[in-house]
């Protein structure tokens, strides 16, 4: 059996301003806070998950609440995160909405054959809205601040800047069974962007990688990205990936049970942290679907420490 990753599972970024972060992603972008929990490796920090109305895998943009300095941008990093919307009208709606809010917002531009709009959040997180043509199912959130037809549908292409493209490509293709689809000219670089795809492909299952030898190596921080996770559909393939990494001698975390999904972490050759994550069991495991994100959720192994954990967290309602 040739194992296939099916797309982007989630992307985890870093915020030093969780209250402003919550206001931006739920208030301005209209995403649903589907899980308010803690970083399981550092319970003094929130881990916030924003997604579509049903918290489907492939729609999660998540944030660790770390009180750290801003990111130093550079190579060997995840440089931009795309979010999918359906159609030119949705792109235009968000252009006007973002400009009215006053943050950095670019022009609507066709890139790699798709309409796009670049913008940044309150901490400089680099984001792009991508028109996915409305292909595939959508799960709008009825309480969103954004009309259903314009809501963010999920994650789009994730952009990587690396010093050595050949080494990254070797892992993407030779280890992770991705395929190289095409390349296109970058707006701000002499190098072309290389597009790698998973599963059935499409904007929710692509990595866009560019070689940036001349840039300094990035330093993670607020407004930057921590890691990207890729979807594996079931436990059988998840265990298969664990065996594959072990057999190839690739250092990894071993299997980690995050309660809402199972995880497996490793770094590609330029040092970017990758995760392979299962689609299930999902975020409705410990909360009703209509109540997701309303209270602090803790996995069972942290529940006995709830009082101490809650005492160490600051309220972040806005």
- Average model confidence (pLDDT) across the chain: 97
Instruction: Quote the CA–CA distance of 235 and 143 in Å, as a whole number.
Output: 33
**Total domain count, the chain:** 1
Instruction: Please report whether residue 114 resides in a domain.
Output: yes
pLDDT value of position 93:
98
Domain annotation covers residue 71: yes
Query: Contacts from 190-198 at CB under 8 Å and sequence distance 24+?
Result: 193/112, 193/159, 194/165, 194/169, 195/112, 195/157, 196/169, 196/172, 198/4, 198/5, 198/6, 198/7, 198/230, 198/231
Other Cβ atoms closer than 10 A to 112: 17
Residue 296 falls inside a structural domain: yes
Query: 235 lies in a domain?
Result: yes
What per-residue confidence (pLDDT) applies to 318?
A: 56
Could you tell me what percent of the chain has a pLDDT over 90?
96
| 145-174 per-position pLDDT tens digit | 999 999 999 999 999 999 999 999 999 999
| pLDDT tens per residue, range 88-137 | 999 999 999 999 999 999 999 999 999 999 999 999 999 999 999 999 89
CATH number of the domain at 106, please: 3.10.180.10
Asked, for residue 3, whether it belongs to a domain, the answer is no
Q: Which two tokens stand for residue 271?
A: 């040092």
2 lies in some domain: no
The range of the structural domain enclosing residue 46 comes to 8-311
* Per-residue model confidence (pLDDT) at position 187: 84
Q: What is the pLDDT of residues 197-255, one digit of tens each?
A: 999 999 999 999 999 999 999 999 999 999 999 999 999 999 999 999 999 999 999 99
Backbone angles phi, psi at 225, to 5 degrees: -110, 140
């Amino acid at each position: 059996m040739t194992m296939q990753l099916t797309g982007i599972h989630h992307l985890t970024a870093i915020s030093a301003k969780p209250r402003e972060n919550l206001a931006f992603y739920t208030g301005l972008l209209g995403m649903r806070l589907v899980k308010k929990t803690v970083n399981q490796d550092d319970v003094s920090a929130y881990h916030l998950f924003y997604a579509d109305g049903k918290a489907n895998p492939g729609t999660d943009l998540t944030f660790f609440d770390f009180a750290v300095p801003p990111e130093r941008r550079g190579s060997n990093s995840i440089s931009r995160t795309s979010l999918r919307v359906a159609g030119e009208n949705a792109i235009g709606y968000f252009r006007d909405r973002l400009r009215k809010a006053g943050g950095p917002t670019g022009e609507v531009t066709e890139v790699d054959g798709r309409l796009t709009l670049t913008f940044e959040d309150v901490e400089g997180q680099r984001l792009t809205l991508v028109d996915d043509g409305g292909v595939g199912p959508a799960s709008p959130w009825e309480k969103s601040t954004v009309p259903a037809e314009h809501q963010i549908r999920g994650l789009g292409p994730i952009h990587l800047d690396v010093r050595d493209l050949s080494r990254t490509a070797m892992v993407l293709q030779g280890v992770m069974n991705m395929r190289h689809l095409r390349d296109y000219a970058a707006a701000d670089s002499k190098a072309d962007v290389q597009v790698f795809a998973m599963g059935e492909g499409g904007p929710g299952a692509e990595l866009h990688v560019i070689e940036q030898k001349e840039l300094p190596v990035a330093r993670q921080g607020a407004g930057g990205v921590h890691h990207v996770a890729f979807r594996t559909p079931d436990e059988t393939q998840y265990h298969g990936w664990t065996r594959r990494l072990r057999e190839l001698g690739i250092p990894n975390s071993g299997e980690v049970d995050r309660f809402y999904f199972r995880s497996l972490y490793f770094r590609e050759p330029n040092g970017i942290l990758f995760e392979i994550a299962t689609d299930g069991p999902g975020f409705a495991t410990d909360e009703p679907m209509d109540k997701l994100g309303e209270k602090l959720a803790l996995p069972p192994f942290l529940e006995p420490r709830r009082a101490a954990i809650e005492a160490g967290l600051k309220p972040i309602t806005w």
